[in-house]
Amino acid sequence: MTQRWPIILFALVMAALPLIPEIPPFWIVLLNNIGLAALVAMGLVLLTGVGGLTSFGQAAFCGFGAYTTAVLSTAYGVSPWLTLPLALIVSGLAAVVLGLITVRLSGHYLPLGTLAWSLGLYYLFGKLELVGRNDGISAIPPLQIGSWRMLDAGSIYYVIWAAVILSAVLTTNLLDSRTGRGIRALRRGHIAAEAFGVNTARAKLLVFIYAAVLAGLSGWLYAHFLRAVTPTPFGVHASIEYLFIAVVGGAGYIWGGVLGAVIVIVLKEILQSYLPLIFGGQGQLELIVFGLVLVALVHLAPGGVWPWLAGLLPFKRKPPRVDTSLHLAARPARELPPVLLQLEGARKQFGGVIAVNDVSFSVGQKEIVALIGPNGAGKSTTFNLITRVLASSAGRITVCGTDVAGTTPQEIARLGVARTFQHVKLIPDMTVLENVALGANLRGQSGTIASMLRLDRADEARLLAEAARQIERVGLKDQIDQLAGSLSLGQQRIVEIARALCVDPVLLLLDEPAAGLRHMEKQQLAALLRQLRDGGMSILLVEHDMGFVMDLADRIVVLDFGTKIAEGTPDVIKANPDVIRAYLGAAA
Amino acid sequence: MRCWRGEPALNTTILLFLLQDGITNGAVYALLGLAMVLVFAVTRVILIPQGEFVAYGALTYATLATGQAPGTAMLAVAMGLVAFAFDLFAARKAFRVKTIVRAVAVNIAFPVVVLGLTWGLAGRANTIPVNIALSLLIVAAIGLFLYRIAFQPIAHTSVLVLLIASVGAHLALEGFGLIFFGAEGLRGPAISNAMITIGQLQITGQSLAVYGITIALIVALWLFFDFTLYGKALRATAVNRLGARLVGIRTSLSGQMAFLLASVIGAISGILIVPITTLYYDTGFIVGLKGFVAAIIGGLISYPLTAVAAIVVGLVEAFSSFYASNYKEVIVFTLIIPVLVLRSLTAPNVEEEKE
């Protein structure tokens, strides 16, 4: 990585700060508090800003970390260093239990659910005898290296900020990896991610645990910094404060969490120490001003301060260099059945509406089959049945000889089926390269830990090389480093095709690939699809452009109101009276 | 809201008392839950300041009952001035007399008249209906202006950003609450001091007032949403903002309406409970959250389910304060978790289009 030096510079500045002669000790305390909050906020950035899961419960995880070490080091005399892994494990396990319940909740239930258990846990901390009820636990031993006891704020400062910087580096690494792309795809909904083999439920649980472990680390540090714990800092108000630290700083950015911590904690400190001087000792005036400033901040910068500040910084993120000479291991050669896809009486009912009515057809090897029909004929629903986004109500669908009933979209992807979507499902704030690389998700091996430690680089380079090659193949080489959201809709459809090609599919499902393309682009697309077929791939496509379909398809299946009304070669279909009636009305 | 020490036996008297206590509190939670559902559906704001509406309503009423003018009336005027400035700024490109007249009437004239009435009547016409009416008007003005100032300019942003603004508003209003009402708790006069005894069951007039007003409000909300044009406009906004705008509904007006209703409902809840328990400037938060628990169980969409859930929350609270008073709050707030598990098992696998 070429952008290491800003972090090294930052680490050096932070290391030098306490050495400034006559720096007020109070500043160091403030910096410690900032570091502790930044750790929690960083987890929230990953969870909320990147993964799209809002949590009101992060302070409770700090509580798990802090109480674990407090109980073990006071009541049982365990060394604080030994309690560190235990504190992280306890907060991680708590996250597993709570996560299994909450992470599956969709939309707004998730934040509300976290709010509920966070309140429950707060009261529990205040009532349990084991953790000292509302009085908490005091006289927690300090951290100690050899005979050096870290009693003052200046010594534990180094431990706190080392943890912050280390966590920031590990988190940055994680996001810039195969697993990270899966996490970043979560915010756009689960269908696209699952179509490329991302186990979204697992990815959500992973970020949930990750954020909880960071919070637990913060809690462990907190316990040994203040050397006393009470329930108050682990309540809902604290959780909400962490959330707005992340939002104020910039919820989509790791350093936004750190910046947010600086802004919020310094602001609170200034308000608490100067407002009473100006207005006299009026009670809680700082609360009012703090609330007002908060409202004003989200009005002025709803995206947070970091993206605005990052635009002013002299160093820009360089696009990654991709070495296209690398190759992914090819899909293990296997005997493909002559019929890749077979639908036998496939049916889908939504209440009283029959969207797909006993449809049967098949796709053989090296064949382009078009599925056409007027709007609402059930074409996209058929796609969703094949890829198991929807479960069919009756009938049998087999892919490469495997019955899809009871499988998941991820397993369909693993069978070698890749698809595009009628309504483009790219991640707009990821580059074209990153979006396309998501398609190669199943072809990489590196896991979470390897990604964090950068042990995935060889694997990652091969994935990116494959993505770059597919982008070049569809003719979008010049747009490779642009954000997907900045492309025209037609180009975005082509990006989806490149992403699907990264799966190395045997069967490609394209939902209206030519919509929004110009004439020349359509011809290029047709040429590409023919070339893919001749290379051994089978294609099933939904398309409304009849000229495009008639030129390209080997066979056409026509649906009308969910029912198959015709099947045959383009010439047969063109002459079929039923098809003409369905499209143009009677007697055309 | 009471606790017993030792090992009491559950006899009929205590059972009836607990039931009554639970249902009374549950009714109040139902009102708050309904208000939260309403605001969330229309504006996507999770209304944390709902608790402040409760506290402001209750404490304004209690302050008026002591013959003093509450500071909330001044706050309403101040917020009205800010809201007026916002309206002027928004209208700067298309200055129309009608817009300005409306802005002056709503933002300046309304709170100033309420302040005048408060100053004029405080300590003089000290009757319960007058005090209730004044409290409701004051809190209604605050709710209305709160939406105009804090939420209307960012109505298009994400739920998360709206939530942060909501927290900011909660903190600021709580701070003002401390200034206006002090750290001491207040109690207000009961709406009714009647007492009905049926066998072992003693029903206070206040409980009856709580039930009656809750039922009346739920019926009124139902009539409003099903039979009036404004109600239908609010529902349309809740379903689809863009669609609502396309058919000529002013979504900003829908938002103001939702906040107006929520603040009035909050204030009524506060006035109903302040004769029963002492309220502090910051009590509203936790009371509001219990309404919120009910709203979550109701799925933030269903009014009848929310009402039923609220009664359940009230009953669970009453009985857990009897059996395990130490863990009352823990039990109430973890009550949702089985509900959430159930929901996550039965939730349809639908894709939400975000952003």
Residues of chain B contacting A251 with CB distance shorter than 8 Å:
160
Cα separations in angstroms, A277 against A139, A271, A274, B241:
34, 10, 5, 46
Give the total residue count for chain B: 355
In sequence order, the 6+-apart residues with CB closer than 8 A to the CB of A270 are none
* Nearest one of A457, A415, A437 to A498, comparing CA atoms: A437
Written as six digits, the tokens of A261 are: 């911590």
Optimal mutation site among A44, A98, A101, A108, interface B, most CBs of chain B within 10 A: A108
Q: How far is B92 from chain A (nearest CA, A)?
A: 19
Kindly report whether the global pTM for this prediction surpasses the value 0.90. Answer: no
Q: Do B340 and A105 touch (CB under 8 A)?
A: yes
For residue range B24-42, list pLDDT tens digits in order.
Answer: 888 888 888 888 878 888 8
Q: Which of B158, B340, B353 to mutate to test the interface with A (most CBs of A within 10 A)?
A: B340
Task: Tell me which residue has tokens 């009005």.
Answer: A299
In this structure, are residues A417 and A399 in contact, taking their beta carbons and an 8 Å threshold? yes
Of A109, A124, A247, the CB nearest to B340: A109
**Cα B220 off chain centre by:** 16
3-state SS class at B206: helix
Contact B328, B318 (CB under 8 A): no
pLDDT per residue as tens, chain A (588 positions)? 446 788 899 999 998 888 888 888 889 999 999 999 999 999 999 998 888 888 888 999 999 999 999 999 998 888 889 999 999 999 999 999 888 877 777 666 777 778 888 888 888 888 888 887 888 888 888 888 878 888 888 889 999 999 999 999 999 999 989 999 999 988 877 888 888 888 888 899 999 999 999 999 999 999 999 999 999 899 888 998 898 899 888 888 899 999 999 999 998 888 888 777 766 655 567 778 888 888 888 788 778 888 888 877 766 667 777 777 777 776 666 677 888 899 999 999 887 888 898 999 999 999 999 999 888 888 889 999 999 988 888 899 999 888 988 888 899 998 889 999 988 899 888 899 999 999 888 888 888 888 888 888 888 889 999 999 999 988 888 988 999 989 988 889 999 999 999 998 999 999 999 888 888 889 989 999 999 999 889 999 998 888 899 999 999 999 988 899 889 999 998 888 888 888 777 654
Q: What is the largest CA-CA distance in chain A?
A: 97
Among the partner-chain residues A102, A189, A283, the one whose CB lies closest to the CB of B354 is: A189
Residue A331 DSSP code: P
Number of residues in chain A: 588
The closest of A87, A95, A38 to A65, measured between CA atoms, is: A87
Query: Whose structure tokens read 């300090």?
Result: A142
Q: How distant is the alpha carbon of residue A441 from its chain centre?
A: 13
Rounded CA-CA distance A484/A430 in Å is 6
Distance from CA of A302 to the nearest CA of B (A): 7
Calpha distance A518→A164 (Å, rounded): 50
Angle at the Cα of B258 from the Cα atoms of B253 and B259, rounded to 5 degrees: 100
Query: How far apart are alpha carbons B276 and B187 in whole angstroms?
Result: 8
Q: At what angle do helices A432-439 and A489-501 cross, to 10 degrees?
A: 40
Nearest-CB residue to B160 (from A48, A127, A289): A48
A104–B292 C-beta distance less than 8 A = no
Residue in B164, B184, B331 to test binding to A, most A beta-carbons within 10 Å: B164
Q: Which residue has the tokens 């299994």?
A: A100
3-state secondary structure of A129: coil
Report the distance separating Cα A383 and Cα B222, nearest Å.
42
Decide: A257 and A245 in contact? Cβ < 8 Å.
yes
Question: Counting Cβ atoms within 10 Å, is residue B240 exposed (0-12), middle (13-18) or buried (19+)?
Answer: exposed
Task: Indicate the SS3 state at residue A373.
Answer: coil
pLDDT tens digit string along B228-279? 888 888 878 777 777 888 888 888 888 898 999 999 999 999 999 888 888 8
Distance CA B174, CA B160 (A): 21
User: Cβ(A147)–Cβ(A83) under 8 Å?
Assistant: no
Alpha-carbon span B327 to A512, nearest angstrom: 58
